[in-house]
Amino acid sequence: MDLAKTISIVDPAKLQLLAHQLSPNAKVRANEPLAKKTTLRIGGPADAYIEPATEADLAAVIRFCAEQKWPWRMIGRGSNLLIRDGGIRGVVLSLAQPRFCEIQVSGERLICGAGVKLKQVAMEAKRHGIGGLEFLEGIPGSLGGAMRMNAGAMGGSTFDLIETIRTMDLTGQIVEFPAANIPVVYRSCPLFKTHIALGAVFKGQSAPRESIEAKLNEASRKRWSSQPAAPSAGCIFKNPSTIPAGRLIDELGLKGMRVGGAVVSDVHGNFIVNDGHATARQVLDLIAAIQEKIRAARGIEMETEVEIVGEDK
C-alpha cells in the first residue's frame, strides 16, 4: 500500500480554526466515512467533510481552502458517484443543510435550492398543480448534482424546464445565469467545472392534478420495473450513438457478470449493483472487463457516465 495516499492533507488544527469561522449549524468533521453518503454504498473516508449552513459559510470554506491549498469537491446525494476505497483527500462539501433544501412556489415557477431532492420538486409541483416536471420523479439525487450532469429520465433532462440558475464562483461570489445562455450537452454542464450550483428556478405549466398524478405514477412504474432495487450508482455507461448501453450489454450476455460483490444487474444491463460486500476496486475491475468485452465484440469504446473520484487503497 502507498502510505502517502492514506495520509490526510488537512491539518486538524486548521480545520478546527475554519469550524470556528462558520455559523453554529454548520457541520465540520474529520476523517468522515463516505460510503453511506452514496447510493452504491461504497467508498473510503474524506479527510474533512463540511455541510455549510449558509451561502456565507460556503464562501468562507471555498476561500479558506484556497488559502490552505486544500483541494475540495462537492457531492450531492451520491447517486451517480463511485468513491474509490482509499477515500478523498482534502475537503468534501455537501449542501444538505435546510438553507439549501428549500422550495418556494410562485405561480408556475418553483424556486429550488441545490440540495433539494428531485423527487421533492416533482411532488411539490403536483401539490400546486404545476405540470411538466413529472419526469424528475424518476431521477435520484439532488438538484445540484442533476444540474452538474444534466441528468435525465423518461425522455426529459434537468435543464429542459430550468429558467434561471444561481451559482457561486470559485472566489465565493454569487452569480445568476439565464438557463438559455448555459451550454449543456449529454450528461454534462461544463459551467459547473468553475461554479457551484446553489439553486434553480423551474418553469412548468398549470395542469389538472389528476393528469400530473397519472404521469407521476407512470414514471414511478417504469422506474421500478426497469431498474434494480439493490444499491447502485444508476447508469454506469453513457449510451453510444448507435445503441443504448443497457441493450448492448444484454445482447452480449453480460448480465450477471460479477467481480466479487459487484454484479451487472439482471434487471437492467447498464446498472452495476452492490450485493452488500462490493469494493470500489471490484466495481472498477468489472467496468474494465465490460469495456474490454464490448470493444472486442463490437469495436465500441464505452465511456463511463458514473463519476469516479478519490484514491485507491
More confident residue, 155 or 8: 8
What count of other Cβ atoms lies within 10 Å of the Cβ of residue 264?
26
Does residue 154 carry a pLDDT above 90? no
Compute the mean pLDDT over every residue in the chain, rounded to the nearest whole number.
92
Q: How confident is the model at residue 153 (pLDDT cuts 50, 70, 90)?
A: low
CATH topology of domain 228-302: 3.90.78
Average pLDDT for 18-26 = 97
Average pLDDT for 95-105 = 96
Average pLDDT for 90-114 = 96
> What DSSP state is assigned to residue 208?
-
What is the Cα 49 distance to its own chain's centre?
A: 16
Q: Indicate the range of 144-148, 152-156, 189-193, 208-212 predicted with least confidence.
A: 152-156
Does residue 169 carry a pLDDT above 50? yes
Does residue 103 carry a pLDDT above 50? yes
Q: Considering the domain 101-211 in this protein, what is its CATH number?
A: 3.30.465.10
Average pLDDT for 245-253 = 97
C-alpha distances in angstroms, 260 versus 83, 116, 263, 274, 285? 17, 34, 8, 9, 10
Q: Are 202 and 133 in contact, with CB atoms under 8 Å apart? A: yes
Q: Are 44 and 310 in contact, with CB atoms under 8 Å apart? A: yes
User: What are the tens digits of pLDDT across the range 174-214?
Assistant: 999 999 898 887 777 888 989 999 999 999 999 998 999 99
Domain segments of the chain: what residues? 13-98, 101-211, 228-302
pLDDT of residue 136: 87
User: What are the tens digits of pLDDT across the range 283-310?
Assistant: 999 999 999 999 999 999 999 999 999 9
Does residue 4 carry a pLDDT above 70? no
| % of the chain residues with pLDDT over 90 | 76
CATH topology of domain 13-98: 3.30.43
Q: In the chain, how many H helices and how many E strands?
A: 7, 19
Q: Indicate the range of 164-173, 226-235, 263-272, 273-282 predicted with least confidence.
A: 226-235
pLDDT of residue 1: 34
Q: Indicate the range of 53-67, 150-164, 233-247 predicted with least confidence.
A: 150-164
Which residue from 76, 81, 155, 83 is spatially nearest to 118, judged by alpha carbons? 76
